[in-house]
Amino acid sequence: MAGLNAFEENQETKVIDTTKKVRVGIIGTGWIADSHIISYLKQPDVEIVAGADLVPGKAEAFFKKHGVENVKCYNSDEEMIADQKNLKLDAVSVCTYNRQHAPCAIHALNAGINVLLEKPFTVTTEEAVEVMRAEKKSGKVISIGFQPRLDANMIMVKNVVQSGVLGQIYYIQTGGGRRRGIPTPFGTTFITDETAGLGALGDIGCYSLDVVLNAIGYPKPLTVTGYKSAFFGTDPNYSNYVATGHPEYAKKFEVDDFAAGFVRLEGGIILDFRIAWAMNINTPGDTIILGTKGGLRIPSTDCWNGTIGGDLILYHEVAGKQVETKIPQIFPKPGDPTNFDKKIRTFLDAVKNGTPAPVPTSQILYNQAILDHICKSSNVGHEIPVVIPEI
């Protein structure tokens, strides 16, 4: 267990060695790649040297939009990595849709390139294990793109839990969602099985799980009872399809827009979880962590946005009296690095210093296993044991 938490989120590199540049390539130049390049361009020790996208001309247009010149563009990750002798990439950001996470990460690791892989880790547990086998063989750094855990409030949640003030933790309720928020602004890559594989589960569910699992030290999931549905996504009258003139998306919708899971974790902890892209309520509830000495309430946001919806509240006893302690929400100050900046910087530091990945696969494997086993349990209609192949 100790190894899982070798990395401390509040580690900061004080002085950046600008004589040592990191040569970076970007695989997949869609929506999220914008956040990666914006943060890379703020770093004094990065050279963006290559990019790849399956859509011809997309990578070229992406670099032009960001004013980055002298970048070699390719029509797939494989084409780009085949040119590694010339490119001499130190690192790639894998910003492809979910189904292309595992193959792109494996290709890069096999070529000896460090990887910052967007979330969710993969679609299935088996794919995550394959990536970890490639990681082990390569000895390279692979970090998963969970920037919300670098948010000051999420670090506070972890610090409160790790301080021991809650005593022995035995029950956690977490999740979140949106009333109407199936992400189709740029087409259907989030909703078809061929590209996404997972819906709300993989898009925002993985974050809700990370908030609590990271705080409690990522215990192993043992069994899962899962449920998923797609009542909104498959309805041509879904309000956002109507508003954007795309009722045909209903026929393309092949993933979950709501999911829930009841998970037994190692150490006798119960995790009760639900997540939604669309639902007829504002929020499925605050995150709560119950322990023998205290309970923590983490107010939810109406729409998942990577932070918390208000002050944390600690419920405990002092001298036999039941009391509540308010832990004020922390807001970023102007000029503070964004969580994305921190995600990029911590990854670069790990690459340059050979230190552990900021968001290690050894943790996120359990996150992925929960998502995947919710799907598997939902498909068979009963509780199942969590099976993770040897790495």
**Contacts with ligand NAD, residue ranges (CB under 6 A):** 27-33, 52-55, 58, 76-77, 95-98, 100, 104, 118-119, 145, 147, 186, 189, 203
- Write down the least CB distance from residue 144 to ligand NAD, Å: 9
- Write down the least CB distance from residue 96 to ligand NAD, Å: 4
Please check whether residue 180 is in contact with residue 306, taking contact to mean a CB–CB distance below 8 angstroms: no
- Write down the least CB distance from residue 20 to ligand NAD, Å: 27
Taking CA 87 as the corner, what is the angle to CA 351 and CA 34, rounded to the nearest 5 degrees?
A: 65
Bin 285: left if φ > 0, else alpha if -120 < ψ < 50, else beta.
Answer: left
| Type of residue numbered 321 | K
| Nearest Cα residue to 389 out of 227, 372, 139, 374 | 372
Please check whether residue 389 is in contact with residue 130, taking contact to mean a CB–CB distance below 8 angstroms: no
Q: In terms of CB distance, is 145 or 175 closer to ligand NAD?
A: 145
Please check whether residue 260 is in contact with residue 226, taking contact to mean a CB–CB distance below 8 angstroms: yes
- Write down the least CB distance from residue 278 to ligand NAD, Å: 17
Burial of 320 (0-12, 13-18, 19+ CB in 10 A): exposed
- What is the C-alpha R_g of the chain? 21
| Nearest Cα residue to 102 out of 79, 126, 85, 75 | 126
Q: In terms of CB distance, is 28 or 177 closer to ligand NAD?
A: 28
- Write down the least CB distance from residue 207 to ligand NAD, Å: 8
| Nearest Cα residue to 287 out of 305, 258, 312 | 312
| Nearest Cα residue to 50 out of 73, 22, 30 | 73
Q: In terms of CB distance, is 203 or 257 closer to ligand NAD?
A: 203
- Write down the least CB distance from residue 367 to ligand NAD, Å: 13
Collapsing DSSP states into helix, strand and coil, what is residue 259? strand
**Sheet with strand 72-74: strands edge to edge:** 72-74, 46-52, 22-27, 91-94, 114-117, 142-144
To which H or E segment does residue 350 belong? Answer: helix 339-353
Q: In terms of CB distance, is 201 or 260 closer to ligand NAD?
A: 201
Q: In terms of CB distance, is 79 or 336 closer to ligand NAD?
A: 79
Q: In terms of CB distance, is 33 or 160 closer to ligand NAD?
A: 33
- Write down the least CB distance from residue 236 to ligand NAD, Å: 22
Cα 111 to Cα 354: distance, rounded to the nearest angstrom? 17
- Write down the least CB distance from residue 340 to ligand NAD, Å: 7
Which residue is nearest to ligand NAD, using beta carbons? 30
Q: In terms of CB distance, is 290 or 344 closer to ligand NAD?
A: 344
- Write down the least CB distance from residue 267 to ligand NAD, Å: 29
Cα 374 to Cα 391: distance, rounded to the nearest angstrom? 22
Cα 380 to Cα 371: distance, rounded to the nearest angstrom? 15
The string of DSSP codes covering 164-189 is TTT-SEEEEEEEEE-SB----TT-ST
